[in-house]
Structures are given as C-alpha cells and as structure tokens.
Structure 1
Amino acid sequence: MATINALDFTVKIDDFRRVKVVEKTYSGKLLPNQVLLEIDQFSFTSNNITYGVVGKQMNYWKFFPTQSSYGIIPVWGLANVVISNHPDVQVGQRFYGYYPMSSHLLVTVNNVGSKGFVDNTKHRQALPSIYNFYVNTEQDPTFTPETEKLISIFRPLFVTSFLIDAHLAEQNFYKTSQILITSASSKTAQALACLLAFRKKKNALNWNLLGLTSKRNMEFVGQLEWYDQVMSYDSIAQLNSNEKFVVIDFSGNHNTQFQLQRFLNKNLVYNCLVGLVDWQNLEGENPLPEKGEFFFAPTHAEKRREEWGVSGFQQKIGIAWLQFMEVVQSTISIKEHIGVQELEKLYSDMLNGKIDPKYGNIVSLNRMNKRL
C-alpha cells in the first residue's frame, strides 16, 4: 500500500509567533490495532491558545509530540478512518475528539464500543483519559451535517462551562449577589453565561450576571442577552465594592486581576481562574494580593462522574447541551479556513486578539480543492 503524505502545524514552545509546518509520511502498513485518521476539520478558539500557554504545566505538549523545542497545539474536531488494522474500526467511520493541528493522526485503538474507542498509544496512557476518547459520530444523534461545526467549536468548551456552573450551584453561588465573567465574548464565557442565565431564570435566583469585555466587543456581548449587565475593562472602578462578588476569569490578564482583587478586596468571595485569553499580559509590575483558584475541568469531571455515575453525568450534560444548541445557533456564524496559509493567518489573528467574536472558526488542512 502506498505511503500517505501528511503535515503538522507546529509552534515554537518558547515563542508562539514562530511556526513551522512539518511534512511527514505514514506507511500504508500499520501495526496491530493501529488506525490512521484523516482529520477533516477542527475548530480553533482562544481556548486553544490557553492549551499552548499552559502546555508545559498541564502536559498538553505531550499528547502530540513533534520536533524538539516545538509543540503541536491540541484542537477538537472530526476525522475519518482512512486505514485500519483493528477488526472493530472500519475505513470510512467518522470520529470526534482531541486532535493535533495536523492533517492526520495515527492512533492505537483500545476499548472499542458502540460509542467510540480509546487511543492507547504509549505516550498518551498516563495523560487525562477525557482527552483520549474518540466518539463514533454514527452512534451519536447530535452529530448531523448542520451541527458538526458547532459541536467542534463549542462542545469541549461547553463541558468546562457546565462544570463551572455545577460547581457554583453546589456552593450556593458562594452567597454572592454579583457574578462577573471576564473575556465575556469568548466562546467558553458565552456558554457559561448561557447556562447561568438558564439557571437563574428557572430557579428565580437574585444575583446579577456581569460580562466584562473590551470596548470593541461590548455591542456583541450585549446582543447575547445572557448577561444582566455588560461593562468594559476600564469600568472596574464603577463596580459596587460593597457587594459580594464571584469572578470567573477567562482572560488571565494580570492587571485586570490586580484591579479586581484590590478594588473588591474582601468582597471577592471566589476568584475562579479558567482561561488565558490575554496571553501576552499574564504578568505585571504589581504582585497580586491573592492568586485565586485554578479550575481544572478534568478533575471536576472525574468528581461528577463519581457522584452522578457515568450515565448520569452524560445525561445531565446532554440535556444542558441541547438547550444551549437551541439558542447558540442564532448568535454565531461559521467562518471556514482551508489549508496552511489560511490557518497561519487565523493563528496569527488569534494570538494578536484580532478575532471577531461573532464568528466560529473551522479549519481543514485536507480540503484544498473544495470548500467545507
């Protein structure tokens, strides 16, 4: 069988602005239980930049190793089986999951079931299991041609938002009167705001949901109608520091954190650190009074699985996801990027904060001759 040409989009680990496209080949003859997937499409959001920023601390660089001093940022997307040496995985099957920014991925299949399989490649065995499962889209009715792109963009982020929402509810929202979300236009923040708005309406809760965003994104965030109030970053001093606040920080901006901690002081009852959207401003001159609590979604997911059982966990997420899908489709437009050059442009724009939040970005490195 002929070899298959492939490529990886890699970034310099200590300088994200330096990228390199690595060409390689796969043999048509695979080892037992190996499967070669052709990555059809993947989403790219600010969450993927966070994967890179914390890649070393959180072992994200270990999922898809490449040349020394370079890394492959993980993404979420869909791929088709092009070669299979596993009896229960067939050529043509389609799987959703955690992929490299690449044209192909070679996996070692284990624990095959009707819903999917686990990649048991040696270097992935010690990494969080939530990232190693690949969903068979034929067995999941939520995957349709109309929903696939939205699923790639929002589902992994939605799970994080769902877990934050569940945590806040479990803690009775820390008895706060104000919940403030930074980087309010980001996709994960959108999902969390939607979930909190649903919960607030259903249970007649009396806290106020605030979205903090840049001035250029205020109109978009306001149009979402999930936030009770939208403010720009230069309006922090206008917050009512006499009320208790929960802050969910997707920005990671050091100066924003400093202002919030100093201004709210003891009334900042829970400071939840989630994302690093503003990756260029993670440090500042003023030391932070407190660091806050980092929210690591896989740990919270394991906790919920133990409490609710695997089926209970999946059912709760599924119900919330369908509610979210009903409303989010009207808030976003899909923007498609084909080939390496368009990916490089998207990646650069994301690094520099030049992304319009009304778009959801989908990338394909394999569809050079036709549009998605």
Structure 2
Amino acid sequence: MPLPNTCRLLTRKTALEDMRVEEQPPPAPPAEGEALLAPELFSLTTNNVTYAAYGEAMRYWDFFPSGDEDWGLVPVWGFATVIGSRVEGVEVGERFYGYWPPATVLRVQPDKIGAHGFRDATAHRQALPAVYNQYFRCTQDPLYTPETEAFQALYRPLYMTAFTLADFIADHEGFGAQRVVLSSASSKTAYGTAFCIGNAFETVGLTSQRNAEFVAGSGCYHRTVTYDALRDLAPDTPTLYVDLSGNRDLRAEVHGHFQALRYSCVVGSAQTTELPGQQDLPGPPPTFFFAPDQIAKRMAEWGAEAFGQRLGSAWARFHAHVSDPQHDLLQVKTGEGLEAARAIFAQLLAGEVAPREGHVIQL
C-alpha cells in the first residue's frame, strides 16, 4: 500500500514565533533495518519552548534535522504507530511512546530491540543524549494505559525532569538549604518538582498574582508567594533557587535578596526565549540542570530496573494527586493537526496558556 503525503511544522531558529506547516511527498519505503513511525498524539507545553530557546546551546535542533539550517523541528513527546518496518521485533501497527518531530512521519533505525522497546541508532543521533533516543513499546510499558495517553503525553516528559531534579536536590542534601524556592510555580514541571520534594524541604511557589490561586490550590507547595512579595521571604534562611522562568531580572532579584542562597539551579524558560547568559550576580553562579545527567548517574548506581521501579511508584502517586478533583490541576484541550500545533505554540511563546490547560495535538 502506498504511503500518504506527509507534513511537518517548521520553526525559524532565530525568530521562534515564525512557524509554517510544510507539506512533503510520501516517504520512501523503509530500507532493511529501518522503520517508519507516524506520530499521532503529542503534547505542547512550556517544555517545548525551552527546547526551542536552548535549541542551539543544548543541541535540541540536532535530533530531527530539517535540511535547512535556518529552520528547525521543535521536539515533542507523545505516541506514534509503526506504519512500515523491515526490522524484526518492530511490527506494523505497534504503538510506541517517545521523542518525535512535529511531523506526520519519522524514519528510525531500531537497535537494542527488546520487550520494552528499542533505541534509535540513526547516525546523527548517536552523539546526543541517549535518554532521548529510547522508544517504549506501549504493550510492555509499566507507565502506559490507553485511557491516559493525553495525561502521559503532557506530564511524562515534565515529570521525568521533576523527579530527577528533586532527586538531584536530595542527592546533594539541598546544598545545605532549608528552603527551595521555585519560579514559574504554576508550570507542570515546577509543581511536579515540589510534589516530589515533599516535606524534605520547605517549598515556596513563586508566581504571578494571576496564577497565585492556582498555585496555592495545587497541594504541592508549603507556601505561595507572588513575585512582588519576594522580599517578604526571610533573606537569611538557607535557600535553593529553582529557576523555571528564565527571567534574568527575577534571577538578579533572587540573588540580591537571599543572603544565604546555597544554590541557583536553571531548569527552563517559561517566561523567556533568551539564553541564560552571563550575569554578574552575588552568591553561587546559576547552573543549568540537565536531567539526562542525573538519570545516567542513577542508572549506574541503582540499575535500570530499580530506577524504573522508583520512577513508577512516584509517577503513580503524582497521577493520583493530579487526578484528584479537589486540586483541579488539569483540563485537557485537544487540537487537530499541525496548524493547531502552530497556534498553540504561539500561545505558549506569548505566555497566554492558562496553567490548568494541557494541550495535546492529534494528527
């Protein structure tokens, strides 16, 4: 059966608000050792804004080369179905969770195929972090249930960052801090991190006046503080700052106010698409957190099975928390097609998506 025409969503690397949907001819059938997968459901969150903002510095543009150095494909997380395969162990019709381009097809070279999935051995991806090259077979994935695909697409990549960030903080005994302050506290990664930290430290959600009620009602933080009330927090309490906003002015205010700042952790860019850059700041230098490094460390220390068990147990607790109606944390919004994806990404760039909204795209 001939394969259908394809399309993809391109983003101008130097002007992220400039996006276009490009149609392409049908892909060539898979060669020996190749498989074709069709992404069908993926999420769009501020995490994708971070991928675009740090696309050059962190090599996110390199996962799915567009063939045009001025335009890139912002990676997304979600589900795809095999539409062609010449690889034993990867069958047409199977469904996989993983890291995809915003496009209707991806060509892969499955390697290390096992019951739980495969690794893409395509040459250009081998120098990139291995965690992004893993594809999980839904029928064998302990985190998968068919009825929660939207929830998984939205939270799973963010929760992996949240889980490993909380573990990183615990691994270093909070760098001597007693309090963890998280900016952009209404973001899914922020409140997921606070949930994982639990009562190990006091967690403070730093947010806008508009989102303060949402953050306070999330059940994830010990305290909610608006940006204009930052200076109400005691400056001499040993503090760890988790920067999910990327806001340079806010970072400077945090460093200037907290005399006992123990660590400054840059995680995302929910409020900006500018790279962190150098700032002459008092206290510890802002340090970028890269989740794959902590994952690799724990995989080596705990082993893959133990890591998976800990993650799965924590994921189940988080799913129950988010699903609890008393917290009202999630309203899933489904868009159809890549034009809808373009519109949602533009809203994310402009900061116009309400924190309760979780946007998924169905292709």
On whether the aligned pair clears a TM of 0.5, the verdict is: yes
Distance 1:336 1:78 in 2: 14
Whole-Å Cα distance in 2 between the matches of residues 326 and 240 of structure 1? 33
SS at match of 1:279: coil
TM-score by length of 2: 0.94
SS at match of 1:312: helix
Once the two structures are superposed, the pairs formed by residues 253-268 of structure 1 within 5 Å of their partners are: 253-265=247-259, 267-268=260-261
1:29 maps to: 29
Aligned to 1:139: 140
Q: Which residue of 2 aligns with 1:235?
A: 229
* Change in 2 beyond 3 A, CA 1:168/1:284: closer
CA distance in 1 between counterparts of 2:316 and 2:186 reads: 21
User: Which of 236, 243, 264 is the matching residue for 1:249?
Assistant: 243
Distance of 2:276 and 2:113 partners within structure 1: 45
Three-state SS of the structure 2 residue aligned to 1:147 is helix
Provide the secondary structure at the position in 2 that maps to 1:4.
Answer: coil
Which residue does the alignment assign to 1:326? 320
1:362 aligns with 2:355: no
Q: Determine the C-alpha separation between the residues in 2 that align with 1:305 and 1:142.
A: 18
| Aligned equivalents of 1:102, 1:263: Cα separation in 2 | 45
**Aligned counterparts of 2:296 and 2:80: Cα–Cα separation in 1:** 26
Q: Say if 2:37 and 2:82, in contact at 8 Å, map to a contact too.
A: yes
1:295 and 1:284 map into 2 onto residues whose CA distance is: 15
**Which aligned pairs between 1:161-200 and structure 2 lie closer than 5 A?**
161-197=162-198, 200=199
Please state how far the C-alpha of 1:146 moved relative to its aligned partner: 2.1
Q: Deviations over 1:16-58 (max 9, x none)?
A: 0111222213345221111111111101110110011111111
The answer to whether the 8 Å contact 2:8/2:338 transfers is no
**Alignment of 1:270 onto 2:263:** yes
- Displacement of 1:282: 5.6
Corresponding residue of 1:370: none
Residue in 2 that maps onto 1:56: 56
Which residue does 2:157 correspond to in 1?
Answer: 156
* 1:313 aligns to 2:312 (yes or no): no
CA gap of 1:225–1:113, structure 2 versus 1, over 3 A, is same
Q: Distance in 1 between matches of 2:276 and 2:301?
A: 37
The 3-state SS of whatever aligns with 2:109 is: strand
Over the residues paired in the alignment, what is the CA RMSD in angstroms? Answer: 1.7
Matched, 1:20 2:14: no
Q: C-alpha separation between the residues in 2 aligned to 1:134 and 1:109?
A: 9
Distance 1:122 1:257, change over 3 A: same
Gaps of 5+ in 1: 367-372
Whether 1:352 and 2:350 are equivalent positions in the alignment is yes
Cα pair 1:4 1:28 within 8 Å, conserved: no
Give the match for residue 369 of structure 1: none
CA distance 1:282–1:86, shift in 2 (3 Å): closer
- The answer to whether the 8 A contact 1:2-1:27 is kept is no
Q: Sort the Cα spacing of 1:286 and 1:270 in 2 relative to 1 into closer, same or farther, 3 A.
A: closer
C-alpha spacing 1:146/1:2, structure 2 compared with 1 (3 Å): closer
Alpha-carbon contact 2:21-2:339 (below 8 Å) kept = no
1:279 aligns with 2:280: no
Measured in 2, the distance between the counterparts of 1:157 and 1:216 equals 23
